[in-house]
Amino acid sequence: MHHAADRLLNACDQRGAPVCVGLDPVLEKIPAAVREGYTGPVDALEVFCYGVLDAVKDVVPAVKPQIACFERYGAAGYAAYERVVAAAAQAGLCVIADAKRGDIGTSSAHYAAGLIAGGDTWRGGDFLTVNSYLGTDGIEPFFNAAQAEGAGLFALVRTSNPGGDALQGLRLEDGRTVAEAVADQVAALGEGGLGERGYSLLGAVVGATKPADAAALRRRMPRQIFLVPGYGAQGGGADDVRACFNPDGAGALITASRSVIYAPVRGCGAWADAVRVAAQTLRDEIAAILA
Amino acid sequence: MHHAADRLLNACDQRGAPVCVGLDPVLEKIPAAVREGYTGPVDALEVFCYGVLDAVKDVVPAVKPQIACFERYGAAGYAAYERVVAAAAQAGLCVIADAKRGDIGTSSAHYAAGLIAGGDTWRGGDFLTVNSYLGTDGIEPFFNAAQAEGAGLFALVRTSNPGGDALQGLRLEDGRTVAEAVADQVAALGEGGLGERGYSLLGAVVGATKPADAAALRRRMPRQIFLVPGYGAQGGGADDVRACFNPDGAGALITASRSVIYAPVRGCGAWADAVRVAAQTLRDEIAAILA
């Protein structure tokens, strides 16, 4: 199936809930057994990611690797990122590359060539997160590359961090907030890339910690799949995410990272089992909201 | 000298003008002799960058590698980026890593750890460009890392692309533009990191294609060094950049990329000589404006 939104939505149906596990591997947080089994930090993080992928692949439709966690180790980390993306795709998971790239057109085109199209020995993600601050001509090269490759995008509209308010929540003289103005631009640009299920290949990042904003943004972007971070560790609850869905119960992908991949191990259980159970809990909680 | 702004300003004085050459290596644009001499695209781009560094190192104080041009080739490109940064530092050039990264706090801290602090076998840039859309708590981890490492930042305020207007130029109900609101946040955050010469380690990206905006932003950010792209190929002229400087003639770094690194070769001259001459012209033009 060539349209990324269709692919993602179908995968969500198949797994029973529109949820995504964030891969934010951090050396100090991964199980000691994994950390101590490898001399290089990148090796340990990579093996940890494979363990998480194996634990969640039959439970959730998508994973979201946070490229910053890899890039902090430079080229070696970047190489590990490429292998983790390949492994996730091999496991049948939809991959959302959380890179938040954005630049003027020519440079955006370079990012898109790498992070969406990939190369001879590696592939880009199914989706890529992009930054909206440079305007639509900074997003268009990503959009064109995504369309050509059957991939998709999530543009930052309303982020889950407290400081996002100070800019995204500012009121314009026309009554919209900055985030709403960005939403209108994303909705307009996304019209050119609708799939069979009615959603655009250009989605939007809308944090789970701002339910009132999410409802207003939902109305402005009916054709955008919302990538919703902040569920779990960042404080967003089940009630907060309801507003991110369309009335038909579709149109959002709820992401949890730390609460799943660093799920506390009970007794002498295996860490991967704890991850799997946390992913199942995430899936079941979101499925219950939508039932 | 531990403060990045002092280091950069002193280097500008030493070279006679506050100018920077952008390293945006693109395979189709580099001299055919270089391109055809290597089987792998990354090797050709890397060798081209070394040639540019050698041509400009005695002419300009700083270079700005565009990481997108390297990242499009994945981990192999990233490794070349690291080596080019090391070579630039070795040549005595101030390195501005143009990566425009930005995320919520924890992920920004990971980016900062890599792109500012570097690793065992590689180093980060002297400065890093960062995206402002996530608010100050998305920039603070970069700020803290920069302060600890004696590095600096340039936060995106007003970009040089035409589409930047559609968001950055919007008017808020309090009368400021979005870019001005970001400028106020950058100015406030930057107060905590002033160097001996009165400038903050947190600078601002302000495009050369918006002279009226630049003047207004200059007043709001007296302590920020402006990184000014768009001179030359993007259409900004000598008159446009005047507004980016403080009344004392300091406080801006004028960047040209394509007009220098792809300078046309006259007759049977060497491409590196054309690059050197173009860098000298850039330096002399900006010095003339400030004389």
Which tens digit of pLDDT belongs to each residue from A200-239?
A: 999 999 987 777 889 999 999 999 999 999 787 666 677 7
The alpha carbon of residue B77 is apart from the nearest alpha carbon of chain A, in Å, by 8
Minimal Cα distance from A23: which residue of B?
B107
Instruction: Report pLDDT for B110.
Output: 96
Percentage of residues in chain B having pLDDT higher than 90: 82
Determine if the pTM surpasses 0.95.
Answer: yes
Cβ of A165 within 8 Å of Cβ of B135? The answer is yes
Nearest by CB to A133, which of B74, B133, B171? B133
Instruction: Report pLDDT for A160.
Output: 83
Q: Is the pLDDT of residue A266 over 90?
A: no
- Number of residue pairs across A and B with CB atoms under 8 Å? 196
Mean pLDDT of A187-193: 97
Which candidate in B39, B42, B134, B255 is best for mutational testing of the A interface (most A CBs within 10 A)?
B134
Would you call A57 helix, strand, or coil by DSSP? coil
Nearest by CB to B166, which of A108, A166, A185? A185
Query: How many C-beta atoms surround the C-beta of residue A172 within 10 A?
Result: 17
CB B251 within 8 A of CB B226: yes
Our answer to whether residue B210 is catalytic in this structure is no
Mean pLDDT of A250-278: 94
Residues in A touching B182 (Cβ below 8 Å): 167
Residues 115 to 144 of B: which have CB under 8 A from any A CB? 115, 118-119, 121-122, 131-138
Tell me if B264 is assigned to some domain: no
Cβ of B111 within 8 Å of Cβ of A73? The answer is no
pLDDT band at residue A260, thresholds of 50, 70 and 90?
A: very high
Please state, in angstroms and as integers, the Cα–Cα distance from residue B140 to each residue in A57, A207, B153, following that order: 35, 20, 11
The model's pLDDT over B197-235, given as tens digits with 9 standing for 90+, comes to 999 999 999 987 777 889 999 999 999 999 999 787 666
Q: For tokens 């800019």, name the residue.
A: A167
Return mean pLDDT, chain B. Answer: 94
Instruction: Report pLDDT for A232.
Output: 74
Instruction: Report pLDDT for B233.
Output: 66
Instruction: Report pLDDT for A1.
Output: 61
Nearest by CB to B181, which of A102, A159, A170? A170
CB B206 within 8 A of CB B215: no
Q: What is the ipTM of this complex?
A: 0.96
Which candidate in A23, A104, A143, A261 is best for mutational testing of the B interface (most B CBs within 10 A)?
A104
The model's pLDDT over A35-56, given as tens digits with 9 standing for 90+, comes to 999 889 999 999 999 999 999 9
Cβ of A135 within 8 Å of Cβ of B105? The answer is no
Q: Distance between CA atoms of A13 and A10, rounded to whole angstroms?
A: 5
Instruction: Report pLDDT for B1.
Output: 61
DSSP string, B6-54: HHHHHHHHHHTS-EEEEE---TTTS-HHHHHT-SSHHHHHHHHHHHHHH
Instruction: Report pLDDT for A139.
Output: 96
Instruction: Report pLDDT for A119.
Output: 80
Residues 17 to 36 of A: which have CB under 8 A from any B CB? 24, 26
Tell me if B247 is assigned to some domain: yes
Q: Is the pLDDT of residue A170 over 90?
A: yes
CB-neighbour burial class of residue B239 (10 A; exposed 0-12, middle 13-18, buried 19+): exposed
The alpha carbon of residue A291 is apart from the nearest alpha carbon of chain B, in Å, by 32
CB B66 within 8 A of CB B22: yes
Cβ of B136 within 8 Å of Cβ of A68? The answer is no
- Give the sign of the dihedral formed by CA A94, CA A96, CA A97, CA A103: positive
Minimal Cα distance from A230: which residue of B?
B104
Please state, in angstroms and as integers, the Cα–Cα distance from residue A136 to each residue in A142, A181, A187, B182, following that order: 10, 12, 11, 19
Task: Give B92-160 as a 3 state SS string.
Answer: CCEEEEEEEECCCHHHHHHHHHHHHHCCCCCCCCCEEEECCCCCHHHHHHHHHHHHHHCCEEEEEEECC
Q: Distance between CA atoms of B127 and B204, rounded to whole angstroms?
A: 11
Q: Is the pLDDT of residue B138 over 90?
A: yes
pLDDT band at residue A162, thresholds of 50, 70 and 90?
A: confident
CA angle B180, B182, B183 (to 5 degrees): 60
Q: Is the pLDDT of residue B289 over 70?
A: yes
- Strand-pairing partners, residue A172, are B172
Q: Is the pLDDT of residue B3 over 70?
A: yes
Query: How many C-beta atoms surround the C-beta of residue B117 within 10 A?
Result: 15
pLDDT band at residue A88, thresholds of 50, 70 and 90?
A: very high
Nearest by CB to A134, which of B115, B135, B159? B159
Nearest by CB to B74, which of A106, A119, A132? A119
Cβ of A74 within 8 Å of Cβ of B114? The answer is yes
The model's pLDDT over B189-204, given as tens digits with 9 standing for 90+, comes to 999 999 999 999 999 9
Q: For tokens 């994945």, name the residue.
A: B74
Instruction: Report pLDDT for B163.
Output: 87
Instruction: Count how many domains chain A has.
Output: 1
* Dihedral angle, C-alpha B4, B6, B12, B15, nearest 10 °: -100
| Domain at B143, CATH number | 3.20.20.70
* Dihedral angle, C-alpha B40, B43, B46, B47, nearest 10 °: -120
Which candidate in B39, B85, B110, B186 is best for mutational testing of the A interface (most A CBs within 10 A)?
B110
Q: Kindly state the tokens that stand for B28.
A: 């189709």
Instruction: Report pLDDT for A234.
Output: 66
- Strand-pairing partners, residue A152, are A127
Residues in B touching A159 (Cβ below 8 Å): 104, 133-135, 138
How many Å from the N-terminal Cα to the C-terminal Cα in chain B?
A: 27
Instruction: Report pLDDT for B234.
Output: 66
The model's pLDDT over B96-105, given as tens digits with 9 standing for 90+, comes to 999 999 999 8
Residues in A touching B167 (Cβ below 8 Å): 132-135, 178, 181-182, 185
Q: Is the pLDDT of residue A268 over 90?
A: no
Tell me if B117 is assigned to some domain: yes
Residues 164 to 223 of A: which have CB under 8 A from any B CB? 164-168, 170-173, 178, 181-182, 185
Q: Which of A243, A245, A253 has its CA nearest to residue A11?
A: A253
Cβ of B165 within 8 Å of Cβ of A135? The answer is yes
Minimal Cα distance from B206: which residue of A?
A134
Mean pLDDT of A247-266: 93
| Strand bridging mode A94-101 / A62-65 | parallel
Mean pLDDT of A139-151: 96
Mean pLDDT of B55-77: 97
Tell me if B204 is assigned to some domain: yes
Percentage of residues in chain A having pLDDT higher than 70: 98
Domain interval for residue B166: 4-259+271-290
What b/e string do you get for B8-23 counting C-beta neighbours within 10 Å, with b at 16 or more? bbebbeebebbbbbbb
The model's pLDDT over B94-129, given as tens digits with 9 standing for 90+, comes to 999 999 999 998 999 999 999 998 887 788 899 999
Instruction: Report pLDDT for A233.
Output: 66
Q: Which of A128, B208, B78, B75 has its CA nearest to residue B65?
A: B78
Q: Is the pLDDT of residue B160 over 90?
A: no
Tell me if B196 is assigned to some domain: yes
CB A28 within 8 A of CB A251: no
Residue B69, chain A, CB below 8 Å: the answer is yes
Instruction: Report pLDDT for A96.
Output: 98
The model's pLDDT over B5-46, given as tens digits with 9 standing for 90+, comes to 999 999 999 999 999 999 999 999 999 999 999 889 999 999
Mean pLDDT of B241-268: 92
Cβ of A107 within 8 Å of Cβ of B162? The answer is no
Q: Is the pLDDT of residue A269 over 80?
A: yes
Nearest by CB to A110, which of B72, B138, B161? B72
Q: Is the pLDDT of residue B166 over 70?
A: yes
Return mean pLDDT, chain A. Answer: 94
Q: Is the pLDDT of residue A118 over 90?
A: no
| Strand bridging mode A202-206 / B127-130 | unpaired
Residue B72, chain A, CB below 8 Å: the answer is yes
Count of residues making up chain B? 291
